[in-house]
């Protein structure tokens, strides 16, 4: 079902500048794709009517005329928000858009609709299916955003990650997914889940568009490819490191390593001590404790309508004592600094598994975020590279990881790899 | 106008247990105080009707029957929220209460009303006056909460601090004000301003109630006084350190130092290098950059109704580049860790000025948060001690500061000092 779409945001801007296209062209294309595939993929919670395309004035922006999907846990003033609840909690429209929506609109982006989220971006799945195999999960929690981008319904879609909610669905759906350094883009107007880790990110079908969105949202410089990767030190390390990998994931990691070596990089196993493996457990403590605080009002009034897993998490969090929560946060904080020293001295980038394998069968669950929990708690930028196929031709991604605030370096490395 | 109110939350609970009082007693007392003083003090944006006192069931909670004031930047489902805008932005009631409101209600607290905030918790003042001198500012941004507690209208009120919005008004109004370690209590449902620093805290008329609220919100152990302060090392250091202090502030610091020495503590100047003084400038960079992101939607639609200073801050933030923002965050992060080492080796607590002097005259501004900016950026817990009087008998506070996550130690030290 996937049809490759080679148009990048930059090339669309170039077409507009040469008057080879018009502002609404991409909007119309996306609407047509949605009309064709949405019944199967079910990526959207709400879609803007075709004829109500936003009017744009200036033409100098980075995202002029670019349709974007906005995850359903992000406030929008002109569209409803349901936070993946299926409607037991519903806002007909927020007082104002979430801040990131305004930042996107300022750059000329046009909000095409709200994409399906799992319940409050936790585990209870929405209706979305994996475009590569409709019987499989697209992953979560940013299910609709990953699937919509994969199905060519939209070139760019927002996601959020608190455990593995961007990297995992990107891996399952075969698209690029980027979780920048924690706190890079404002979370204002987005439903919090575990505020020490909640991070806004995005999906695209190529690395160029991932970079353009980063430049647009940070008002930062354009990210260029390097001539090659000579001198770049790539450390291989999964979090946790003590698990047997699925052969599909092994192959994806090997392919990525070889590709990096072809560009001149040096790839070697990165020794990180056992404290790093404990991050997975610390992540679960912080997640449960913070979710139980953050969603206390929703739990108070809607516990009976909530999914079982969410109720379990919240009640587990209510039983965690403050001292244990604090201990996990302090452990993570110490490892953030320890990892910075590793990046200073031993490596430039880490190569790791994005997910335990290809997208699991069934729509009853969204897969396991285990390989993302530790990195998310560390706040480091993570990028899913959709380079490999596993069993049945299904996508298997790998992730590249840099130190906090090295996002530009990470994106530049990936861009080089795709040059 | 101030009448001391010696009732603590714990003693009220004891009275309830002995049936010497009833659940609605404090609610009624507070309503009477409001009726008597609100016309002068103007601390409230919205007050619950006297007869609509919430019904409580369980009696085993820490805050049973305790009326609380909730700052007007905190979502409430049953009361309007205006974020200190004077009404140009107004929510008739949120979909759900902010999480902290539910956490308070679970402990039996009763929301008495919404207290006046400056515009989006920045500098444009609301209507509130200082109960100690109605011609003076109560400070900001948590103006109404500090003034309401000072005027005996409520025993406990929530505030938020991003620069000096709890410690400064507490100092000006002569009440206890506590800003816990960053991220101690969930900010979910509270309007963000600069999310790297936004911290929820509270005001009370005695240290016991500050401690009880901490125990209630963290479900943590009761904080006890120590026998004395022998062995406790107190480092004297203001941020910034290179300014001449007002004599009122000098005297307040001297008084606090002597009092700590009487309890056995050792007080000495703490040498912190010049990088710490640069935190004030870094705070301003982070504040402006994040506010310009966070309030982008409000700026887009309401810039013409916004106060001049807020517009200036947002536009200044829009001109700060991402690389400079990142530099300031990294500098702060490094000093957080450096300060932890200082706390490990040299000191137990820091004693510092809360504000540049007594509350300034006039209601056109809320005073200068300069002595709080650095500490807030570091994320450390800060406690205003209302121990001294300055010119014209006006309150002058000092603050005690511990390392991140040492909140219990900080509160215990202060409790000892008041035993």
Q: What percent of chain B has pLDDT over 70?
A: 98
Contact A183 B196 (CB under 8 A): yes
pLDDT at B1 over 50: no
Selecting from B95, B186, B196 the residue whose C-beta is nearest the C-beta of A290 gives: B186
Write the pLDDT tens digit of every residue in A199-246: 999 999 999 999 999 999 999 888 999 999 999 999 999 999 988 999
Q: Report the pLDDT averaged over residues A403-416.
A: 98
Q: Residue A72: what pLDDT?
A: 98
B274 CB within 8 Å of a chain A CB:
no
Residues of A involved in catalysis: 71, 141, 165
Domain count, chain B: 1
A118 CB within 8 Å of a chain B CB:
no
ipTM associated with this complex: 0.96
In sequence order, the 6+-apart residues with CB closer than 8 A to the CB of B386 are B170, B171, B173, B174, B175, B176, B395, B397
Separation in Å, CA of A202 to nearest CA in chain B: 17
Separation in Å, CA of A298 to nearest CA in chain B: 7
Contact A297 B329 (CB under 8 A): no
Q: Residue B57: what pLDDT?
A: 73
Q: Residue B138: what pLDDT?
A: 98
B102 CB within 8 Å of a chain A CB:
yes
Question: Which of A54, A80, A81, A95 best probes binding to B when mutated, by most B CB atoms within 10 angstroms?
Answer: A95
Contact B91 A95 (CB under 8 A): yes
A186 CB within 8 Å of a chain B CB:
yes
pLDDT at A334 over 80: yes
The parent domain of residue A380 ranges over 1-419
A192 CB within 8 Å of a chain B CB:
yes
Separation in Å, CA of B404 to nearest CA in chain A: 9
Q: Residue A342: what pLDDT?
A: 98
pLDDT at B81 over 90: yes
A96 CB within 8 Å of a chain B CB:
yes
**Do residues A142 and A159 lie in contact, with contact meaning Cβ atoms separated by under 8 Å?**
yes
Across A61-65, B14-18, B349-353, which has the greatest mean pLDDT? Answer: B349-353
In sequence order, the 6+-apart residues with CB closer than 8 A to the CB of A198 are A160, A161, A162, A187, A190, A192
Question: Which of A326, A333, A379 best probes binding to B when mutated, by most B CB atoms within 10 angstroms?
Answer: A326
pLDDT at B2 over 50: no
Q: Residue A278: what pLDDT?
A: 97
Phi, psi of B383 (to 5 degrees): -130, 120
Write the pLDDT tens digit of every residue in A270-284: 999 999 999 999 999
pLDDT at B154 over 60: yes
Q: Report the pLDDT averaged over residues A352-375.
A: 98
Phi, psi of B110 (to 5 degrees): -120, 120
Q: How confident is the model at residue A269 (pLDDT cuts 50, 70, 90)?
A: very high
Write the pLDDT tens digit of every residue in B238-265: 999 988 999 999 999 999 999 999 999 9
Residues of B involved in catalysis: 71, 141, 165
Contact B96 A298 (CB under 8 A): yes
Q: What percent of chain A has pLDDT over 90?
A: 93
Separation in Å, CA of B215 to nearest CA in chain A: 10
pLDDT at B10 over 90: yes
pTM (global) more than 0.95: yes
Query: CATH no. for residue A110?
Result: 3.90.1300.10
Three-state DSSP state, A281: helix
A189 CB within 8 Å of a chain B CB:
yes
Write the pLDDT tens digit of every residue in B342-383: 999 999 999 999 999 999 999 999 999 999 999 999 999 999
Handedness of CA A341, A342, A343, A346 (dihedral sign): positive
Dihedral of the CA atoms A373, A317, A146, A233 (nearest 10)? -10
Length of chain A: 419
Q: How confident is the model at residue A261 (pLDDT cuts 50, 70, 90)?
A: very high
């Amino acid at each position: 079902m996937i049809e490759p779409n080679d148009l990048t945001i930059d090339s669309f801007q170039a077409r507009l500048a040469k008057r080879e296209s018009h502002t609404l062209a991409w909007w119309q294309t996306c609407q047509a794709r949605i009309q064709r595939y949405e019944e199967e993929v079910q990526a959207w919670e709400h879609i803007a009517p075709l004829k109500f395309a936003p009017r744009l004035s200036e033409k100098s922006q980075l995202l002029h005329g670019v349709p974007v999907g906005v995850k359903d846990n992000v406030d929008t003033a002109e569209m409803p928000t349901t936070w993946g609840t299926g409607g037991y909690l519903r806002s007909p429209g927020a007082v104002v858009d979430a801040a990131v929506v305004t930042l996107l609109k300022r750059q000329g982006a046009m909000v095409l609709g709200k994409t399906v989220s799992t319940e409050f971006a936790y585990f209870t799945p929405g209706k979305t299916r994996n475009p590569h195999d409709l019987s499989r999960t697209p992953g979560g929690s940013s299910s609709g955003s990953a699937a919509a981008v994969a199905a060519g319904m939209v070139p760019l879609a927002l996601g959020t990650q608190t455990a593995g909610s961007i990297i995992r669905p990107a891996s399952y759906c075969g698209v690029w997914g980027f979780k920048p350094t924690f706190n890079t883009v404002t979370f204002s107007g987005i439903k919090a889940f575990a505020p020490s880790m909640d991070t806004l990110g995005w999906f695209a079908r190529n690395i160029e568009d991932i970079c353009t969105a980063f430049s647009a949202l940070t008002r930062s410089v354009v990210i260029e490819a390097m001539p090659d990767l000579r001198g770049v030190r790539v450390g291989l390390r999964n979090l946790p490191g003590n698990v047997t990998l699925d052969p599909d994931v092994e192959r994806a990691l090997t392919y990525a390593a070889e590709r990096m070596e072809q560009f001149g990089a040096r790839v070697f196993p990165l020794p990180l001590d056992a404290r790093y493996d404990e991050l997975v457990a610390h992540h679960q403590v912080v997640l449960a404790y913070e979710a139980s605080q953050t969603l206390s009002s929703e739990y108070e009034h809607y516990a009976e309508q909530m999914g079982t897993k969410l109720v379990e998490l919240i009640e587990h969090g209510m039983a965690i004592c403050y001292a244990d929560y604090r201990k996990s946060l302090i452990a993570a904080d110490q490892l953030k600094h320890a990892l910075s020293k590793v990046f200073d001295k031993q490596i430039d980038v880490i190569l790791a598994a994005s997910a335990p394998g290809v997208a699991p069968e069934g729509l009853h669950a969204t897969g396991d975020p285990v390989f993302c929990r530790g990195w998310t708690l560390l706040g480091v930028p993570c990028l899913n590279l959709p380079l490999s196929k596993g069993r049945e031709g299904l996508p298997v991604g790998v992730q590249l990881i840099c130190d906090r605030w090295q996002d530009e370096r990470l994106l530049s490395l990936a861009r080089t790899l795709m040059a």
